[in-house]
Amino acid sequence: GNSVTQMEGPVTLSEEAFLTINCTYTATGYPSLFWYVQYPGEGLQLLLKATKADDKGSNKGFEATYRKETTSFHLEKGSVQVSDSAVYFCALRLYSGGGADGLTFGKGTHLIIQP
């Protein structure tokens, strides 16, 4: 079956540090890949996405590159801010023409940025 594995948190960094949150996936085809972010007490928001191999998604200083050879979609940011503190979810979608669209989420990584 399809699955997404993320590094476990919490991840605690100082402001302006470099961020990497690892995400790997297994899928029975060629999925689209996503990063969603959840701020405290809120729903999820799409942060970025990539739909095919070697695509790079980017938004708000965050980047992730779809690596088919390593089945990975690691999230990176060069200089984090306190306002980046949130839970980050890696997800994949494998549309098969029916069902729930095959959207699968990882367990989430809680990121804490200290001033």
Partner 1 sequence: DGGITQSPKYLFRKEGQNVTLSCEQNLNHDAMYWYRQDPGQGLRLIYYSQIVNDFQKGDIAEGYSVSREKKESFPLTVTSAQKNPTAFYLCATRGGSTNEKLFFGSGTQLSVL
Query: How many chain residues bind partner 1 (CB under 8 A)?
Result: 22
Question: What gap in Å lies between CA 105 and CA 17, rounded to an integer?
Answer: 26
Binding string, 40-79, against partner 1, x = CB under 8 A?
A: -xxxxxx--x-x----------------------------
Question: Of the two residues 28 and 79, which places its CB atom closer to partner 1 in the complex?
Answer: 28
**Per CB under 8 A, 101 contacts partner 1:** yes
Question: Of the two residues 49 and 77, which places its CB atom closer to partner 1 in the complex?
Answer: 49
Question: Of the two residues 32 and 64, which places its CB atom closer to partner 1 in the complex?
Answer: 32
Question: Of the two residues 100 and 115, which places its CB atom closer to partner 1 in the complex?
Answer: 100
Buried b / exposed e over 12-33, threshold 16 CB at 10 Å, is: ebeeeeebebebbbebeeebbb
CB-CB contact of 37 with 47 (8 Å): yes
Question: Please, is 10 exposed, middle or buried when counting C-beta atoms within 10 Å of its C-beta (0-12, 13-18, 19+)?
Answer: exposed
Question: What gap in Å lies between CA 49 and CA 90, rounded to an integer?
Answer: 10
**Per CB under 8 A, 1 contacts partner 1:** no
Which residues of the shown chain bind partner 1 in the complex (CB under 8 A)?
A: 32, 34, 36, 41-46, 49, 51, 89, 93, 95, 99-101, 103, 105-108
